[in-house]
Amino acid sequence: MVAILFGIGDGVFNTQLYAIIGVLFDDRAEQAFACFKFLQAGSTASAFLYDDAFGNITKLYIVMAFLLVAIPLIYLLDWAVVSIDKVKKTDHHDAAASDKQKAAIPVEP
């Protein structure tokens, strides 16, 4: 049961991260995803390195510490993405309205 919950949580978390990275770095998405996967692989490697050095309770505390940091940061990122998305929509709407105004002005020869 715990493995199922971890799998669902990991899937949801990664989906949100990919969506956030896609919105924040839409002009250079390849570099952003590559950097994300590099950091993800590095953190996995470090978890394998300290696997034998610590007991299960210590590893649980490490995971909980990262979780307590990650939860507020994901909400902060979500707020930032929504704010950026609103600005992009407003800019796109203003540009479309400006184009319509330019098209409505008659040009005299």
Tens-digit pLDDT profile for residues 52-91: 888 889 988 988 998 999 899 888 888 887 887 777 777 6
107 pLDDT higher than 80: no
Q: What pLDDT, in 10s, does the model give residues 31-55? A: 999 999 999 899 889 888 888 888 8
CA angle, residues 89, 96, 108, in degrees to nearest 5: 165
Q: What pLDDT, in 10s, does the model give residues 5-37? A: 989 988 998 898 888 888 888 888 899 999 999
In a domain, 73, yes or no: yes
Q: Please report which residue ranges of 1-109 form alpha helices under DSSP H.
A: 2-24, 29-49, 56-104
In a domain, 108, yes or no: no
103 pLDDT higher than 60: no
Which region holds residue 108: left if phi is over 0, alpha if psi is between -120 and 50, else beta? beta
99 pLDDT higher than 70: no
In a domain, 38, yes or no: yes
Q: By residue range, what is the domain housing residue 32?
A: 2-101
In a domain, 49, yes or no: yes
In a domain, 8, yes or no: yes
Question: What's the distance, CA 98 to chain centroid?
Answer: 32
Give me 62's structure tokens.
């490490």
C-alpha pair distances (Å), 61 with each of 56, 74, 77, 78, 109: 9, 20, 24, 26, 76
In a domain, 39, yes or no: yes
Spatial separation of the C-alpha atoms in residues 103 and 108, rounded to whole Å: 13
Provide the domain count of the chain: 1
